[in-house]
Chains A and B, each alone.
Chain A
Amino acid sequence: MTDENSRETSGQEPFDEAEYRRRQRSRANLMAWMLGALAILFFFITIAKMQIFA
C-alpha cells in the first residue's frame, strides 16, 4: 500500500503541495506589502510629530 493510499484509508486528505506553495506565496506577498506600508506610515508619523513639536 502506498503512503497516499494509507492516508486516504485513514481519512486524511492527501497533501497538496501546489496549495501549500500558493498560500505561502500569498502570505509572503501580503506581509511584504504590509511591512512596506508600515515603514511608510511610521516615516510620516515621525514627520508629523516633528512638525507639531517644532
Chain B
Amino acid sequence: MAQSLTHGETALPADWRDLFALTKPRVMSLVVFTALCGLLAAPGAVHPVLAFSSILAIALGAGASGALNQWYEAGLDAKMKRTAGRPLPAGRLDRQTALQFGVGLAAFSLFLMLFASNWQATLLLLVSILFYVFVYTMWLKPRTPQNIVIGGAAGAFPPLIGWVAATGSVAPLPVLLFLLIFLWTPPHFWALALFVRSDYAAAGIPMMPVVAGEKSTRRQILFYAVIMAIGAIAPWPLGYTGALYGWTAVLLSAVFVLLSIRVGTRTTGDGDRMQPEKRLFAYSIAYLFILFGAVVADHWWPL
C-alpha cells in the first residue's frame, strides 16, 4: 500500500482505521442489509459460503465506491462541517493512497463476485460502482439539484445484485425493490439537506434546498414520499409478496407520509432546530431496514 501523511521528509504509513473510514461503514451497513435481503428473498437455496462471499463482494464494492467518492470530493468535504473530519480533508491520508485503495478494492470486489457467484451479478456490481463514481459523484452532484434523484439509482442496486447473485437472472420483485430505494432516496437526502443546507451552500454543491429554496424542497419531499409509498406497497397487490410484507409496507409508509406532511407543509424561521426534518431523516433509515426485513420474513414465513 502507498505511504501517506508526510511528517518532515519521512512518510508515515496510513493508519488502517483511516482506510476503513474511507469505505463509509455506516452507508455500507444499509447496502449489506438490503443486498442480503435481496439474496434471501430470491427463490431457491444458495450455498451459505457462496451467499456470504457474494455479500462480502457487494460490501467491498460499496466500500470502494465510498473511497473513490471521498478521493474525488476531498476538497468539497473540507468545506463542510459534517465531512471536514474525514481522513482526507483532515490530512490523515493523502489522495494518492485513497485512489489506490479505492481502485484496488473495487477490482478485488469484482474478482470475488465473479469467483463466488456469476458474471451477471459481477456486471451489475461493476455498473453500480461506475455509476456511483462517474455518473453521481463526478457528473451529477456538482452540476444539478437532481443529483440525488438520478444518483439514487447507485444506492438502489444492492438488492438487485443480491437477487441476481442467487439466481443468475433479474425478476420483477428485485426491480420493484430497486425502484423502492430509488424513490426513497430523494426524501431521505433532502430531509438531511434541509438541516445541513448551509454546509452544502458553503461547499457550492447544488443541493435542492440551496438551488430551489426550502419551500420547493419541502413540497418535493412530500411528493416523492407519496410516490415512494405507492412503490413500497405495490409488490403486494401485484402478487410478488404476501400480506405480511403488504401490511408492514402500508403501516410504515403511512407514518413516512405523515412525517413528510409535517416537513412538507411547515415554514421555518431563524434558529429553528429542524426537529421534524431530523425525525424524518432518522425514520427513513429505520423504514428501509424494517421494510427489507419484511420482504425476507414474508418470503420465509408467509401469512
How far apart sit A52 and B117, CA to CA, in the bound complex (Å)?
12
In the complex with contacts A23-B15, A27-B16, A48-B10 CB distance below 8 A? no
- The answer to the question of B13 belonging to the interface, with a C-beta cut-off of 8 Å to chain A, is yes
Cβ–Cβ < 8 Å partners of B13 in chain A: 20, 23-24, 27
Q: Indicate whether A26 reaches chain B with its CB closer than 8 angstroms.
A: yes
Question: Cβ of A27 and Cβ of B12 under 8 Å apart?
Answer: no
Assess whether B266 is interfacial by the CB under 8 Å rule: no
For chain B, which range describes its interface: under 10, 10 to 19, 20 to 34, or 35 or more residues? 10 to 19
Q: Quick one: closest B residue to A12, CB to CB?
A: B8
Please encode chain A, from 20 to 33, with 1 for each CB lying within 8 Å of some chain B CB and 0 for all others.
10011011001000
Q: Which residue of B lies closest to A22 (CB)?
A: B15
Docked CA distance A47–B47 (Å) = 11
Chain A: CB-nearest residue to B53: A45
- Assembled-state Cα–Cα distance A12/B14 (Å): 18
B230 is an interface residue with CB less than 8 A from chain A: no
Asked if B50 is at the interface of the complex by the 8 Å CB criterion, the answer is yes
Band of interface residues on A: 20 to 34
In the complex, the chain B residue whose C-beta lies closest to that of A4 is B8
Known: A12-B7, A16-B7. A41 touches B15 (CB 8 A): no
Cα(A45)–Cα(B48), bound, Å: 10
- Which residue on chain A has the smallest CB distance to residue B117? A45
A-B contact pairs, 29 of them (CB 8 A): A7-B8, A12-B7, A12-B8, A13-B7, A13-B8, A15-B7, A15-B9, A16-B7, A20-B13, A23-B13, A23-B14, A23-B15, A24-B13, A26-B15, A26-B16, A27-B13, A27-B14, A27-B15, A27-B16, A30-B16, A41-B49, A41-B56, A45-B49, A45-B53, A45-B116, A48-B47, A48-B49, A49-B50, A52-B50
Q: A interface vs B, CB < 8 Å?
A: 7, 12-16, 19-20, 23-24, 26-27, 30, 41-42, 44-45, 47-49, 51-52
The 4 closest A-B pairs by CB, nearest first: A48-B49, A48-B47, A44-B49, A23-B13
